[in-house]
Each structure stands twice: as structure tokens, then as C-alpha cells.
């Protein structure tokens, strides 16, 4: 069999497999990553979901006893947050988190609840709705909360705004999950290096990779979901490669 015949024979199989491979590369690590945390004994009493959109079920189910703090400024997300709060212990904050208290205009995509952003998207957009939303700093919005605490941040370019708005209270967070870009599709948005640099200064380091997404334009790696823990976390105490 020559090369051309082999390509024709395999094309139906490869054609079906390629989208599956891409989907697996995008999300398969999330459930395994949070389950690994639980197996290692990390059981947060408080879970912040900042940028809820339609919800983060893998995170909620991994820690069923945690108190959920749901934060999203969009009108579109509010019914989803309220639905979660009816099923388990949770509080709902229909506001944005940022580095100052005030108000900003957000652009929500009508065809993608996860795509709401304060900033200019690079490239074509579908239909959108723009409206003003309240913005609060983490350290002024929240009082004391039970620890250990985990915070997931998925905010479409506002990652550093949220992190800076934590102020010194970032040190009350024991683990952070941040969606960040390797190639930002939002004008002037931070990229992965900026997030790593900021969090390293705050004493956080990478512990796990929970997801990776490639952009449809050219299959280039575009987004990462990174799990950070404190540099001196017990989760990092054992530096061996393998047991005895």
C-alpha cells in the first residue's frame, strides 16, 4: 500500500478523531485535577467562583461540603447563580470584582455567556449587549470567610484587576485557579507570564494544569487553566520523584 492509499484509508477515522482530540485537550484535565486536590487532603471550606457564567460544575461537585461564593456581574449569569444557590449552600453576588470600587460598562455576548468582558475583543464578534455593572474590590466586598479557601477566576482579561483588588487578603486564599491567555484575544489583556509573575510576588506557584484550549483560527495554544498554591503549601512538601 502506498502513502496516498494509506491516507485515503485513514481519513474517515482521523477526521472523526481530530475534533475529539481537541475537545479532550480542552477540558479533560479539570475533573482529574480537582479530584487530585481532594485525594491529597485539600478540602476547602470556602470556594469562590469569580466569573461564574453558566457555572463550574466540576468544581462544585469536587467539594460538595464547601460554602460557595458566586460572583458574576452579568444579567445573563444571574439565573444560573440563583439555581446553584437553591441546590446547596451558596451566596450570590451579581457584581464584578476589580481593583477599585465603582462602575464599568461590560459587553456581553448574546451567543456566548462566557465571553463577557470590559475590554475590546480582537477579531469578529457576534451580537452583544452593553450595560453598566457595579465593580467591587475583593477586600472591600467580603468579610471573614472559612479556610482553607479556593478561588477560581475566569474574567476575560480582568485577571490582574481581580487579583490586585484582593490586596493583602490574597494571602487568605490557599489555592487559586486562573484562566489566562498565552495569546490574548482581548486588547491589552494580561497573558500567562504576567499572571505567573504577579502571583510569584505574592508567594504562589504553579501546582497543576487543569485545562488548555487552542484557538480555531490556527490551532495555536491560546488559553490555560492553571492551579496555583502557596509556595510553602503542604501539597508541595514532598519533593521526591517517586517512592523509595
Q: What is the pLDDT along the chain (244 residues), one digit of tens a residue?
A: 444 554 454 444 444 444 433 444 454 588 888 888 999 999 999 999 999 999 999 999 999 999 999 999 999 999 999 999 999 999 999 999 999 999 999 988 888 888 888 888 887 777 888 999 999 999 999 999 999 999 999 998 899 999 999 999 999 999 999 999 999 888 888 999 999 999 999 999 999 999 999 989 999 999 999 999 999 999 999 999 998 8
Residue 156 and residue 130 in contact, taking contact as beta carbons nearer than 8 Å: no
Distance, in Å, from the CA atom of 236 to the CA atom of 71, rounded to the nearest integer, reads 29
Distance, in Å, from the CA atom of 63 to the CA atom of 186, rounded to the nearest integer, reads 32
Residue 35 and residue 61 in contact, taking contact as beta carbons nearer than 8 Å: no
The residue assigned the cell 471573614 is: 144
The Cα diameter of the chain in Å comes to 70
CA distances 127 to 41, 79, 95, 107, 116, Å, are 44, 20, 22, 10, 12
Q: Note the pTM of the prediction, 2 decimals.
A: 0.87
Domains along the sequence of the chain with CATH: 35-234 (3.40.50.150)
Selection from 153, 235, 233, 234 nearest residue 195 by Cα: 153
Distance, in Å, from the CA atom of 74 to the CA atom of 70, rounded to the nearest integer, reads 12
Residue 179 and residue 191 in contact, taking contact as beta carbons nearer than 8 Å: no
Residue 224 and residue 211 in contact, taking contact as beta carbons nearer than 8 Å: yes
Amino acid at each position: 500500500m502506498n502513502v496516498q492509499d494509506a491516507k485515503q484509508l485513514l481519513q474517515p477515522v482521523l477526521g472523526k478523531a481530530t475534533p475529539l482530540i481537541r475537545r479532550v485537550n480542552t477540558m479533560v484535565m479539570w475533573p482529574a485535577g480537582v479530584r487530585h486536590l481532594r485525594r491529597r487532603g485539600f478540602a476547602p471550606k470556602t470556594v469562590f467562583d469569580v466569573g461564574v457564567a453558566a457555572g463550574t460544575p466540576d468544581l462544585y461537585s469536587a467539594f460538595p461540603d464547601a460554602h460557595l461564593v458566586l460572583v458574576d456581574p452579568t444579567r445573563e449569569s444571574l439565573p444560573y447563580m440563583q439555581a446553584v444557590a437553591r441546590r446547596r449552600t451558596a451566596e450570590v453576588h451579581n457584581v464584578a470584582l476589580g481593583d477599585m470600587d465603582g462602575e464599568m460598562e461590560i459587553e456581553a455576548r448574546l451567543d456566548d455567556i462566557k465571553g463577557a468582558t470590559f475590554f475590546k475583543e480582537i477579531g469578529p464578534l457576534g451580537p452583544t449587549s452593553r450595560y453598566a455593572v457595579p465593580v467591587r474590590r475583593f477586600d472591600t466586598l467580603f468579610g471573614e470567610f472559612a479556610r482553607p479557601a479556593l478561588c477560581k477566576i475566569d474574567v476575560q482579561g480582568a485577571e490582574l484587576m481581580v487579583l490586585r483588588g484582593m490586596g493583602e487578603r490574597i494571602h487568605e486564599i490557599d489555592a487559586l485557579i486562573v484562566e489566562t491567555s498565552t495569546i490574548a484575544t482581548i486588547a491589552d489583556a494580561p497573558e500567562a507570564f504576567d499572571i505567573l509573575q504577579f502571583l510569584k510576588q505574592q508567594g504562589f506557584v504553579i501546582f497543576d494544569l487543569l485545562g488548555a484550549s487552542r484557538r480555531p483560527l490556527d490551532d495555536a495554544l491560546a488559553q490555560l487553566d492553571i492551579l496555583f498554591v502557596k509556595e510553602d503549601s503542604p501539597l508541595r512538601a514532598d519533593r521526591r520523584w517517586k517512592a523509595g
